[in-house]
Structure 1
């Protein structure tokens, strides 16, 4: 899978390099600060693509003694680096736009510039949609982050084309720096969002969508012996996940029987996360008398209380470090 990721990001890098050159050509032709802003953002596409290549290469390396969970965390560094570069580009764009408000430059050959930007926008649209689709399919944060950045470039380029059309037909050259300011603000927002995602991943912030998916899988295949699951924690390492939790089982089960139940859970969840690997660390807890009223075990030889009803598994009782009912 990593080889495919690397090929995809190399395609993105090559295309971004060509499109960046095209945008700078449009700037040289027109002297438009808005086009320059678009070109500056495209430089970040190239830099981020190069860093993403290294990120995917490092992610593909196997676990070792110094990295027992693998190297997947580098993906969060990758999107954080990309977000920081985008944020810096946004600041530079705003600075350059401010200069043009006070020192205006005559615009020329806007029609040729528009055609060049329109061509790069179409190419970026196809590339961005491709990256977002593949990033989702491969569960790759690096490819998804790169795709989101490319799509932001597309949206800003569409706005740029609209501004160039207005300037071409009206002669209102003040729209040039104004459009650049708007693009700079949008770029700053995208950079912040990517940095926020990076920080969340590096700080092991829980992705509740993943938690909900794991709970749904286990609830759908719930066995009578699985009395409750609690203290669940999910960490993401690239496209792989590390999940640990406590599983309450009947205390009289033999070790081999308990092991079979743990392997069943691992198999179910790994099937659900087919695009990545899920590593489970499960701590088994013995049942206690207070578990009897929600335990589904029929003909239990040690039952002390009648079964009163099943407790539905949800975030509120799966994430805390306590048995249900305590």
Structure 2
């Protein structure tokens, strides 16, 4: 898997390098600030691709004593670095747009620049679709992030081509800095989004979509012995996930049987969520207490203190807190 991810990101790096050179050629032909904006953003593709290669290399290294959860967190550094570079490029593009407004520079040889931009945009569209599909297939946020960034480049290049066509047929020179200004704003927004995603991952922000899928699986396949599930936490390390949770089981179960119940829960989730990356579990078994009887569905419980009253549907609200269902006090 590691070698395949490296091959994919190396393809991205080489293609981005060639396309960046072509865009700078278009700029020197036309002196268009909008084309320069596009070329500056493409430099970021090259730098980010190089950083992504290193992050994928680290992600593939096995766990060790210094990194017991692996090296997957470096992927969040990768997309954070890419986001910061995109943000800086957006600022530079806005600066150049204002500069051309005040200096009133003329765009030359629009037609040649237009053909080069069209060719590089089609190549970038293929690359972005390729990377996004590979990122989903491998559950790699680095490859997906790189594909998202390049797709942004495709959108901005499409707007640029429309602007160049307008300039070619009308001669309106003001279109060039105006389009560059819009592209700069779009690039700033996308840089911010990648930075936000990086910070969320580094701060272990919970992936609520994955939590919802986990809860749905547990609700649909629950066993009667799983009296409740609580204190669930999901942490992402690259394309690996670490899931912690507490499962309340009948207190009289032998240790072997309790272990089998927790192992069956782990096996179930791995099977139902196949394709979401590797999942590692730490499941803590809690013994039931008398107040658990009213939500316990075991029909032949030999030590029941109270009759069964109602089943609990697991949701974010009762699975994430560190509190047994049916108990008013937090679990210690």
TM-score interval (norm. to shorter): over 0.9
Q: CA deviation at 1:127?
A: 0.8
Q: Provide, for residues 71-93 of structure 1, a one-character-per-residue CA deviation record: whole Å limited to 9, x for no partner.
A: 00000000000000000000000
Counterparts of 1:160-239 in structure 2 under 5 Å? 160-239=160-239
Q: CA deviation at 1:253?
A: 0.2
Counterpart Cα distance in 1 of 2:83 and 2:132: 16
Q: CA deviation at 1:138?
A: 1.1
Counterparts of 1:224-263 in structure 2 under 5 Å? 224-263=224-263
Runs of 5+ consecutive residues of structure 2 not aligned to the other structure: 328-332
* Helix, strand or coil at the partner of 1:241: strand
Q: CA deviation at 1:325?
A: 2.0
* Helix, strand or coil at the partner of 1:108: coil
* Helix, strand or coil at the partner of 1:229: strand
Counterpart Cα distance in 2 of 1:200 and 1:298: 44
Residue 114 of structure 1 pairs with residue 125 of structure 2: no
Counterpart Cα distance in 2 of 1:143 and 1:46: 13
Q: Who is 1:303 aligned against?
A: 304
Q: Who is 2:316 aligned against?
A: 315
Runs of 5+ consecutive residues of structure 1 not aligned to the other structure: none
Q: CA deviation at 1:20?
A: 0.3
Counterpart Cα distance in 2 of 1:310 and 1:136: 36
* Helix, strand or coil at the partner of 2:107: coil
Counterpart Cα distance in 2 of 1:155 and 1:219: 41
Q: Provide, for residues 204-263 of structure 1, a one-character-per-residue CA deviation record: whole Å limited to 9, x for no partner.
A: 001100101111111221001000000000000011100101100000000000110111
Q: CA deviation at 1:104?
A: 2.0
Q: Who is 1:95 aligned against?
A: 95
TM-score of the superposed pair, with normalisation by structure 2: 0.97
Counterpart Cα distance in 1 of 2:287 and 2:44: 55
Q: Who is 2:45 aligned against?
A: 45
**Residues 23 and 36 in structure 2, CA contact (< 8 A), matched pair in contact too:** yes
Q: Who is 1:67 aligned against?
A: 67
* Helix, strand or coil at the partner of 2:245: strand
Q: Provide, for residues 117-154 of structure 1, a one-character-per-residue CA deviation record: whole Å limited to 9, x for no partner.
A: 00111111111111111111211110111011001000
Q: Point out 4+ residue stretches in structure 1 off by more than 3 angstroms.
A: none
RMSD: 0.8
Q: CA deviation at 1:52?
A: 0.2
Q: Who is 1:55 aligned against?
A: 55
* Helix, strand or coil at the partner of 1:325: coil
Q: Which stretch shifts more, 191-200 or 211-220?
A: 211-220
Q: CA deviation at 1:266?
A: 1.3
Counterpart Cα distance in 2 of 1:161 and 1:302: 75
**Corresponding pairs, count:** 326
Counterpart Cα distance in 2 of 1:5 and 1:219: 35
Counterpart Cα distance in 2 of 1:26 and 1:123: 15
**Residues 243 and 281 in structure 2, CA contact (< 8 A), matched pair in contact too:** yes
TM-score of the superposed pair, with normalisation by structure 1: 0.99
Q: CA deviation at 1:273?
A: 3.6
